[in-house]
Structure 1
Amino acid sequence: MTPLDPADLTARLIRCASVTPAEGGALSLLQGVLSDAGFDCTRVDRGGIANLYARWGTKGANKAFGFNGHTDVVPVGDAAAWTQDPFGAAVVDGWMYGRGATDMKSGVAAFAAAAVDFVRTTPPDGAVILAITGDEEGEAEHGTVALLDWMAAQGERMTHCLVGEPTCPDEMGEMMKIGRRGSLTCWFTATGVQGHSAYPHRAKNPMSALVQLMARLEAEPLDQGSAHFDASTLAITTIDCGNPVTNVIPARGTATVNIRFNDLHSGASVSDWLRGHAAAVAAKTGVAIAARISISGESFLTPPGALSALIARAVEAETGRVPVASTSGGTSDARFVKDHCPVVEFGLVGRTMHQVDERVEVAQIHQLKAIYGRILRDYFA
């Protein structure tokens, strides 16, 4: 039987304009491909978001290797700045152009092609599962979370999972992710007393309080790092009051910070730290400071072990490189999968993801399929 071409499948997926949260035909395309290969496919749509669950083999099998990924993409941006059609999948000098070429339609195509070829040629004693969402680039409330909720309700399970996000900074095979930092955003609102700028002693300046608070937060690092994580980071992203004049001290101001925290903390402990500093500044200045906090993901770690070793061996066999086990970067849907089973991320070079002229080297799509295929063969050997 002719092997499934992952580059051709990538091109077909790119031509689906699945800008989050639109499905764009991408999951329907995959469902057709996987159903033809004998996978039991179920659409797990929730909250207006399309998701696809596909399983080959026995439900609840003792060995069930899963792949997780997404077909939704970020907006194109300035379409006129692209040298190729963002949804055309043109190949120029060995590179395929298109939104999602790197993040992550090539990864989805590679693991789908590897899974199809594997079950056709070497039917395993167990199950191969693909959990693919259309809501990773958006709010992520009804994507992989919906798939995992449905799996729990239906008695479906993965014993191990590989997320196919692009993980390599510059060279194919150089890095895999065994964990991710947590992410938290805090919106501070300071409320003081409005007054004339010539008489500041008659006002309570919320902007002064916010500047003091921001200085405190930056002056006290959360930590110096841990065994598998770099130091947690805090970034001030905005301070504002919308004041159109210079002779009025405003009554209200806002500031926002984003924190990426390691496994020495939880979202709750970081929230307490932020509120503690806000309370101290409020007590000193007499300005009321409220904090609204959103935790988009907790930090997690899949300790180095059998799964990471399995992936590292396959990557080295196909690329000649031993991938570094890293926890760097932002968040991914692995933050949800980690509550279901051990999870590691490995995928392509991500240099052009989310950029104008996003593109992937066609040869690397085939190489990634070979890596995923080797992982499957070794896992079920």
Structure 2
Amino acid sequence: MTIDPVDLTAALIRCPSVTPAEAGALVLLEDMLSEAGFVCTRVDRNGTPNLFARWGEKGANKSLGFNGHTDVVPIGDAAAWTKDPFGGEIEDGILWGRGATDMKSGVAAFVAAAVDFVIQTPPQGAIVIAITGDEEGDALDGTTALLDWMHANNESMTDCIVGEPTSLDTMGDMMKIGRRGSLTGFFTAHGKQGHAAYPHRANNPVPAMARLIDQLARHTLDEGTAHFDPSTLAVTTFDTGNPATNVIPAECKATVNIRFNDAHETHDLIAWFEAKAQKMSEETGVSITVETKVTGDSFVTPPGAFVDLVANSVAAETGVTPELSTSGGTSDARFVKNHCPVVEVGLVGKTMHQVDERVPVEQIQTLKNIYSRLIRDYFA
């Protein structure tokens, strides 16, 4: 049994699995993996589809894991697409469709590599494949559900690969050994509405909020760390919802987002938000409240045996030494890192989430070769 990763990617693209719809993608993978001898279990939670598959003994001393997702973002304007977004068409060596880059190709490449390996060279250990349908959505019942189920059922991975598109310009030029954390602060300044001609009879929340947001935006969070660039803070909204030019509003809202490195703990940043809001409230008499949302904490898998193994596999198959990066947004690696060491390596991600998402088929085959070498060397 040999799986062509390009054909499998195309078949997965033809499953219109816009998050959190399954649309046949996990059924296809489960059938294929079961035929190759993997023990498969659906781990659906709250309507979110998830698939766990293991080849080898439960609790093996050495268990290589793969985490990925088959859900995709919406296509946007269908008329703007050159090809059918769920057609999986190949033309001039390019595979088109939603999920071609992010990340049905990564799932297909690893599944193809894993099936080849367990049939040709059964490893002393286990291979675990954990696929979710909720990475592009709220991510509440996807990889977290799989990890919860694994913990409850004594399933484990000793190391894990996440197949997100990590390369920038050429195949293999970057892999992720960590990710920044993400914290959003929602600030609300509560004043007193009044006539703009009589400001002394009102309590304008806008200047107080403006001063606070300026202080946050001008603050230097850090200068960067060994594996991370400096943390950043971006102001994303500032609004009163006030259409009248002669009315002082009663309320003003602003939102900021911090992408932070391993110099910070989430609770310390939240405490900083709250302290700055409290101080401004005391100075201006305008009550400012804060709500926060944490998308993920920062983490890093330090360079060592596993990171070197992945990097060497990439270099051997591409001729490129990958940069060890922690840049970019969040991924489900932020959940996996609580279970075992995790590294992300995948395709060039230039067209992910775009209209006309596409990938050269050569990249998919190269990614399968990287994963094949990685699996072989891992169990050598």
Provide TM-score, normalisation by structure 1: 0.99
Indicate the residue corresponding to 2:268 in structure 1.
269
Indicate the residue corresponding to 2:124 in structure 1.
125
Q: Secondary structure at the match of 1:113?
A: helix
Residue 148 in structure 1 maps to residue 151 in structure 2: no
Name the aligned partner's letter for residue 21 of structure 1. P
Indicate the residue corresponding to 2:277 in structure 1.
278
Indicate the residue corresponding to 2:249 in structure 1.
250
Name the aligned partner's letter for residue 148 of structure 2. D
Indicate the residue corresponding to 2:44 in structure 1.
45
Name the aligned partner's letter for residue 318 of structure 1. E
The offset of 1:198, in angstroms, is: 1.5
Q: Secondary structure at the match of 2:74?
A: coil
Instruction: For 1:222-261, list aligned pairs within 5 A.
Output: 222-261=221-260
Distance 1:96 1:210 in 2: 49
Indicate the residue corresponding to 1:179 in structure 2.
178
Q: Secondary structure at the match of 1:103?
A: coil
Contact 1:19–1:73 (8 Å) recurs in 2: yes
Q: Secondary structure at the match of 1:294?
A: strand
Distance 1:258 1:79 in 2: 31
Q: Aligned pairs, how many?
A: 380
Distance 1:379 1:215 in 2: 50
Distance 1:219 1:136 in 2: 33
Contact 1:185–1:259 (8 Å) recurs in 2: yes
Distance 1:210 1:127 in 2: 55
> What are structure 1's unaligned runs of at least 5 residues?
none
Q: Secondary structure at the match of 1:245?
A: coil
Distance 1:221 1:78 in 2: 40
Distance 1:223 1:205 in 2: 33
Indicate the residue corresponding to 1:213 in structure 2.
212
Distance 2:221 2:312 in 1: 36
The offset of 1:277, in angstroms, is: 1.1
> What are structure 2's unaligned runs of at least 5 residues?
none
Contact 1:204–1:285 (8 Å) recurs in 2: no
Indicate the residue corresponding to 2:339 in structure 1.
340
Q: Secondary structure at the match of 1:189?
A: strand
Q: Secondary structure at the match of 2:316?
A: helix
Indicate the residue corresponding to 2:20 in structure 1.
21
The offset of 1:127, in angstroms, is: 0.2
Distance 2:134 2:303 in 1: 29
Distance 1:15 1:208 in 2: 53
Indicate the residue corresponding to 2:300 in structure 1.
301
Q: Secondary structure at the match of 2:101?
A: helix
Name the aligned partner's letter for residue 219 of structure 1. R
Provide TM-score, normalisation by structure 2: 0.99
1:191-223 deviations in whole A, cap 9, x for unaligned?
Answer: 001111122232211121111111000111211
The offset of 1:91, in angstroms, is: 1.4
Q: Secondary structure at the match of 1:110?
A: helix
